[in-house]
Structure 1
Amino acid sequence: MSGDAAPGAAGEGNTRTRLDRGRGALGPALELVHTGRAPTRAVLTAELGVTRATAGAVAAELEALGLIRVDARPGAAAGSQGRPSHRLELAEDGPVALAAQVHADGFRAALVGLGGRLVATAPGCETVDADPAKVLRSVVEAGAELLRETGRRCVGAGVAVPSAVAEPEGTALNPLHLAWPAGAPVREIFAECVRAAGITGPAFAANDVNLAALAEHRHGAGRGARDLLCVATGHRGVGGALVLDGRLHTGSSGLALEVGHLTVSPEGRACHCGSRGCLDVEADPLAFLTAAGRDPGPEVSLLQQANELIRDHRADPGVRTAVETLIDRLGQGLAGLVNILNPDRIILGGLHRTLLDADPERLRAVVADRSLWGRSGGVPILACTLDHNSLVGAAELAWQPVLDDPITALTHT
């Protein structure tokens, strides 16, 4: 640099140097804002362990990429002490991910921004064809229409399916509650549909409960947990997921935590897996309706029928007995998982969330009575808090490359 460089150029150079030093912090910084852990630049500075100047340069770069907004004037949060700091917020008009979910009673597409915010959703379809390509093509077309309507930039796409999904190939090994063939190459088909629709960015596929756990850990009831167990029943069957040390645990090939096939009633119903009395068939909506002596109707989903029965007819003796029966079955399964996994928090979704709300003390007592860890102090059992958490989790798959390396990911989409 020559000795007569303009002061403005020198200041610009210093800013660029700070940004170069902090470029590796762009992804971690974005993740902190994305998960709500860095509401101000001061918090960002402390969390990243960098200088205020470097944090400022990193925040400015993320703002230039259209991902966050930095308040022009620093302000102090209510009740806080010390120097005011610039607030950091996610850009309301920023990019989105296309998220899709397929389940036994239909499928849905949505656009999801940073922070797990649902920007737009398409009307759900209640018919799932036996051909996965036809279903995935329809859901991607619905997502593409949302992108056209909103004019948003898309960073990628993710789909949640009710099946164990093998990694890295993305095949649905056991879509038991769909008419899809075992081993369907869901990720490959989904990616082809995304490309055919002219949508940029990578495409991903994963198990729906794994994605629900990921979303809840980042944005919902699991936030702050280190070892988080999620168990949920949606429209059919029971699924589970585990976050270990802040990361989703999928096992050696994506098949970990098939909790639906824990036996809770050895003489119970025959399960699709070949065993009997598994959680999958003893603690899902169909099992509840059967225990309550109700014939499932075709007009609405099994999950909706079961939830409405508990909420609107809890005083009915048959419904009350069915609630107790399923709570005991669920509690027995959770106790076994607690003994094996020792999580610091359990979150429940779908019908299990409704059962927890109906009688939280009974469920916690069953888990405590049947688990060693429960007897030593108990494990917090909470309800999932995000609506459409599997959709949000599917979007997290698409957002992950951006969180890892914002500049590279956005340059290539």
Structure 2
Amino acid sequence: MSGMADPRRAGEETTHKARLERGRSALGPALELVHTGRAPTRAVLTAELGVTRATAGAVAAELEALGLIRVDARPGAAAGSQGRPSHRLAVADDGPVALAAQIHTDGFRAALVGLGGRIVATAPGCEVVDADPAKVLGSVVEAGADLLRRTGRRCVGAGLAVPSAVAEPQGLALNPLHLAWPAGAPVREIFAERVRAAGLDGPAFAANDVNLAALAEHRHGAGRGARDLLCVATGHRGVGGALVLDGRLHSGSSGLALEVGHLTVNPAGRPCHCGSRGCLDVETDPLAFLTAAGREPGPEVSPLQHSVDLVRDHYADPAVRAATEALLDRLGLGLAGLVNILNPDRIILGGLHRTLLDADPERLRAVVADRCLWGQSGGVPILPCTLDHNSLVGAAELAWQPVLDDPLAALG
């Protein structure tokens, strides 16, 4: 009868809608696989998503239409390979970017970061940090906005890395001790206001710089593939730590987990601003190294860069070697305690600690192994961070996360 619906056609429409819904739900996971380099081809994407080749192809095509990835439909087959080569997938070279900003004790920097953790452009760094966080954040956002104007890129959002624990959910910098900022400064709110005032698209985020370094290294650097990753790093001042558990950044109930800088490694050591003595924060940071090496920090270069240059260029100097060994021993004690508590499957070191590890890796590993409570923990790989500006890359990861969660919703 002409007035009756065709049940076969209705069934086909239902099946088509179901496929579309499955395809949309796969967009985020697919983008994350390409973003982190785990799906270099469409065949790998198909296997990782557990979908049909047709669905994987449709998902890749949708991500390409959004300007996020590039699909190479005519890849060259590898020598000696058999069968039809799979389409290659890569992040789009000219796609959207996130505005990333980092504040540290000796200045700030802004950059544009694309998918894959690739830094597209950077603004000249500033070497002075004002005591007013609103003034500093306004300047760094304006530097980022200028980069966006000059490159013509679309902005998906903005992320900020700060050298302080950042309390959730308010986004307060609780202890910016090496900045002249007030404790509890609402850095996320101020940053978001400056981003909106600059007319930039997308949400704004803020987090601790070492947490963001760990996030970036886990997705794109030395921590890729680790399930439980411990990151310990020196900034220009002090020591920070971060933990990735089961592939996710662990920040605790209110964003304050892993304040490793206040582990005591030398009970008779220097007084720490936390009220204790001999903490990692004051025993293994660049100022501690310069003091141990008998050097005075100068105004022409940051304590971090000064320390790194000494280890790399003057390691034969007995004072520099002795300072390196002393800091490695103190750092090893701290890492051993963390290993006994956390049992990570990988440790990565950043800042000055990365340079110290490069100078004498076996000494540090021996100290950690000797102080661990069971043999297996002593064998945890200890590796240097591999990303330049990993806190900046991690700040961009915050802004990219809504896009990774739902590309269609984030990009409209």
The interval holding the TM-score normalised by the smaller chain is: over 0.9
**Retained in 2: the 8 A contact 1:101–1:391?**
yes
How many angstroms apart in 2 are the aligned matches of 1:61 and 1:14?
A: 19
How many angstroms apart in 2 are the aligned matches of 1:334 and 1:2?
A: 70
Does 1:251 find its partner at 2:224? no
Which stretch shows the higher mean deviation, 77-86 or 337-346? 77-86
Equivalence for 2:174: 173
How many angstroms apart in 2 are the aligned matches of 1:400 and 1:78?
A: 37
Q: Where do 1:341-356 residues align within 5 Å?
A: 341-356=342-357
User: Structure 1: which 5+ residue stretches go unaligned?
Assistant: 4-10
How many angstroms apart in 1 are the aligned matches of 2:79 and 2:241?
A: 39
How many angstroms apart in 2 are the aligned matches of 1:202 and 1:309?
A: 41
Does 1:39 find its partner at 2:40? yes
TM-score, length basis structure 1: 0.95
Deviation at residue 17 of structure 1 after TM alignment: 5.9
Which stretch shows the higher mean deviation, 164-173 or 70-79? 70-79
Code of the residue aligned with 1:66 in structure 2: it is G
When residues 79 and 315 of structure 1 are mapped into structure 2, their CA distance, relative to the original with a 3 A threshold, is farther
Deviation at residue 20 of structure 1 after TM alignment: 3.0
When residues 238 and 78 of structure 1 are mapped into structure 2, their CA distance, relative to the original with a 3 A threshold, is farther
Deviation at residue 81 of structure 1 after TM alignment: 4.8
1:69-91 deviation per Cα after TM superposition (whole angstroms, max 9, x unaligned): 11122544456555421111110
Q: Where do 1:1-400 residues align within 5 Å?
A: 18-77=19-78, 80-374=81-375, 378-400=379-401
Deviation at residue 21 of structure 1 after TM alignment: 2.4
How many angstroms apart in 2 are the aligned matches of 1:350 and 1:191?
A: 28
1:322-374 deviation per Cα after TM superposition (whole angstroms, max 9, x unaligned): 00000000000000000000000000000000000000000000000111245
Deviation at residue 22 of structure 1 after TM alignment: 1.4
How many angstroms apart in 2 are the aligned matches of 1:79 and 1:186?
A: 56
Code of the residue aligned with 2:295 in structure 1: it is R
SS at match of 1:372: coil
RMSD between aligned residues: 2.0
How many angstroms apart in 2 are the aligned matches of 1:66 and 1:17?
A: 25
Code of the residue aligned with 1:149 in structure 2: it is R
When residues 16 and 70 of structure 1 are mapped into structure 2, their CA distance, relative to the original with a 3 A threshold, is farther
SS at match of 1:240: strand
SS at match of 2:212: helix
How many angstroms apart in 2 are the aligned matches of 1:62 and 1:79?
A: 31
**Retained in 2: the 8 A contact 1:369–1:375?**
no
How many angstroms apart in 2 are the aligned matches of 1:386 and 1:116?
A: 9
How many angstroms apart in 2 are the aligned matches of 1:16 and 1:305?
A: 61
Code of the residue aligned with 2:146 in structure 1: it is E
**Retained in 2: the 8 A contact 1:338–1:373?**
no
How many angstroms apart in 2 are the aligned matches of 1:79 and 1:290?
A: 58
Code of the residue aligned with 1:192 in structure 2: it is E
TM-score, length basis structure 2: 0.95
Code of the residue aligned with 1:310 in structure 2: it is V
Deviation at residue 246 of structure 1 after TM alignment: 0.2
SS at match of 1:408: helix
Deviation at residue 167 of structure 1 after TM alignment: 1.0
**Retained in 2: the 8 A contact 1:346–1:381?**
yes
Which stretch shows the higher mean deviation, 387-396 or 368-377? 368-377
How many angstroms apart in 1 are the aligned matches of 2:314 and 2:182?
A: 38
Aligned residues: 406
1:30-79 deviation per Cα after TM superposition (whole angstroms, max 9, x unaligned): 00000000001110000000111111111111011000011122544456
How many angstroms apart in 2 are the aligned matches of 1:179 and 1:80?
A: 60
How many angstroms apart in 1 are the aligned matches of 2:35 and 2:377?
A: 35
User: Structure 2: which 5+ residue stretches go unaligned?
Assistant: 7-11
Code of the residue aligned with 1:154 in structure 2: it is C
Code of the residue aligned with 1:134 in structure 2: it is K
Which stretch shows the higher mean deviation, 266-275 or 29-38? 266-275
Code of the residue aligned with 1:404 in structure 2: it is D
How many angstroms apart in 2 are the aligned matches of 1:60 and 1:15?
A: 17
How many angstroms apart in 2 are the aligned matches of 1:309 and 1:197?
A: 41
How many angstroms apart in 2 are the aligned matches of 1:35 and 1:16?
A: 29
SS at match of 2:19: helix
How many angstroms apart in 2 are the aligned matches of 1:78 and 1:281?
A: 55
**Retained in 1: the 8 A contact 2:339–2:377?**
no
How many angstroms apart in 2 are the aligned matches of 1:140 and 1:281?
A: 32
Code of the residue aligned with 1:65 in structure 2: it is L
Code of the residue aligned with 1:212 in structure 2: it is A
1:109-146 deviation per Cα after TM superposition (whole angstroms, max 9, x unaligned): 00000000000000000000010000000000000000
Deviation at residue 265 of structure 1 after TM alignment: 0.5
